[in-house]
Amino acid sequence: MNQELFRAIARSYESGSAFQDMYSDSVYPLQIVLKRPFPLSQIARRMDEFLRWKHEIEEDCGRFSLSLNYREEGSRAYGRQRIPESVLISDAGTHADILGRSTEYSRVRSILEQIDREAPELLRWDGENYPVLLEIAPDLDALLCVYRWRVNHPDQTPFLRELHLHGVHTKLIEKHKRVLAAWFRIGMDPEWLEQRKHFKDFPRRYGFARERRRFRFRFLHPDDSPLQGILDFEIFLHEMKDNLLKHIQNIIIIENHLSFLCLEPRNGVLAIDGMGYAAVDLVKQDWISSKTILYFGDCDAHGLDILSRLRAVRPDIISVCMSVSTFQDFFSFATIDSTPAIPLPEHLNSDEVRLFTNLHENSLKGNPNRLEQERISIQYVMSEMDLKLADPS
């Protein structure tokens, strides 16, 4: 078959046109415009080549019972010629047969008929993305079961493991989560989706529970621990109780794990390993609301962004070692961070804004724009913390 014609027929099939009649108007008979091998002006001197191309097209149309449309053209140079202009494919079955994909066509059609019976709202997406259907075909019944359950129970938030549905298991959902996500975006209420769009992980974005994070806590002085000498422990946020903090007035959230472990003893201070942006969940807890909170992150754009997000919840949070002076004192240890720039965070004080601006200017010049926590001496950190607790301003 003429290769250019074959490619044009394949492109139209792969766009999903063969299945469009399942959810919209049929595109058949489908016109495929022919691409001539050279401009008309060259026919006279390339007549043999033109006639071979024309004969090949006519043979292809005859073999597959395709209608061929011609255009009459004439000139003194090459006389009057009937030039093939377009091919008409009568129906989807013929379209698939030309490409040797009749078995695939029948299988996809059967899958779409099942989806039409059980979840017709998904037909357009599935028809336009039909290759995916061949991948999920063995698991189609189970996936439709998950989809229907989610649509019918929008207020329930089980773990994926807790879905007691026939043929459904966690590995199956994880394997096909891209398809399920596309289906959920079609079938779920837009407001329900909007409320969850900030979640990046599949379970929470689509209303399922995700394993809760354990935060690591450390009393900086043995006298403050009510746990019989236990100073360092991990716990879920919702399990933390006020009575564990009866001797604690101040909390420092710290990002670097080794820095967390190396903080020197101080009465009335609890250190918490913040785990990046997860610290936002931490400062929302009721048991922390009456405490003075300090935050020690990296002197870089993302450290300041985390600080800003924490302040959006608790405007009174005090930063430690996240200032122009700290960056200058340890400038020889600063490095270059090549991650993309971010906008100026909203909830920074004037000194932090100045630091952010300086870091950005350094980045543009190819100069150091990041000072990681572990490059600042613990003695310096403790001194800064003591000063901030004595005079928060």
Contact 389, 292 (CB under 8 A): yes
pLDDT in tens, 19-67: 999 888 889 999 999 998 888 888 888 899 999 999 999 999 999 999 9
Q: Is the pLDDT confidence value at 118 over 80?
A: yes
CA distances from 140 to 108, 127, 289, 303, 314 (A): 12, 15, 48, 45, 47
d(CA 310, CA 317): 7
86 and 141 co-located in one domain: no
313: confidence class by pLDDT, cuts 50, 70, 90: very high
How far, in Å, CA of 92 to CA of 28, rounded?
7
Would you tell me the crossing angle of helices 102-118 and 140-152 to the nearest 10 degrees? 30
CA distance 57 to 34: 9
SS3 358: helix
Query: Regarding predicted confidence, which is higher, 392 or 120?
Result: 120
Sequence-distant (6+) residues with CB within 8 A of 259 are: 296, 373, 374, 378, 381
Same domain, 248 and 364: yes
Expressed as residue numbers, the domain containing 177 is: 107-205
**Nearest Cα to 187, choosing from 131, 140, 123, 138?**
123
Among residues 161, 185, 205, the one where a domain terminates is 205
Q: What is the reported pLDDT for 339?
A: 84
pLDDT at 334: 95
Q: What is the pLDDT of residues 150-170, one digit of tens each?
A: 999 999 999 999 999 999 999
> Which of 300, 319, 302, 323 has the alpha carbon at shortest distance from 311?
319
**Domain stop point among 64, 98, 132:** 98
Rounded Cα distance between 111 and 91, Å, is 19
Is the distance from CB of 220 to CB of 263 less than 8 angstroms? Answer: yes
Which strand (E) or helix (H) includes residue 270? strand 269-273
Q: Is the pTM of this model over 0.95?
A: no
Query: Looking at the structure, do residues 70 and 159 belong to the same domain, yes or no?
Result: no
- Cα–Cα distance, 297 to 352 (Å, whole number): 12
250 in helix, strand or coil? Answer: strand
- Give yes or no: residues 120 and 219 share one domain: no
Distance CA 6, CA 88 (A): 13
* Average pLDDT value over all residues in the chain: 92
Residues 26 and 146 occupy one common structural domain: no
Question: What is the rounded distance in angstroms from the CA atom of residue 313 to the CA atom of residue 56?
Answer: 72
Pair 228, 285: CB distance under 8 Å: no
* Whether residue 68 is found in the same domain as residue 133: no
User: Which residue is associated with the tokens 């043999």?
Assistant: 48
Which residues does 155 contact at the CB level (< 8 Å), separation at least 6?
none
Residues 94, 217: Cα–Cα separation, whole Å: 68
Q: Indicate the number of domains in the chain.
A: 3
* The token pair that represents 149 in the structure block: 């359950």
The domain boundary, picked from 34, 65, 98, lies at: 98
pLDDT-derived band at 341, boundaries 50, 70, 90: confident
The DSSP H or E segment spanning 312 is: helix 301-313
CA–CA gap between residue 96 and residue 74 (Å, rounded): 36
> Are 218 and 181 contained in the same domain?
no
Is the domain of 238 the same as that of 350?
yes
Verify that 120 and 84 share a domain, yes or no.
no
d(CA 265, CA 269): 9
CATH no. for residue 260? 3.40.1360
- Within this chain, do residues 380 and 232 fall inside the same structural domain, yes or no? yes
Judgement on whether residues 266 and 351 belong to the same structural domain of the protein: yes
Nearest to 282 by CA among 346, 223, 215, 355: 215
Q: Is the pLDDT of residue 73 over 70?
A: yes
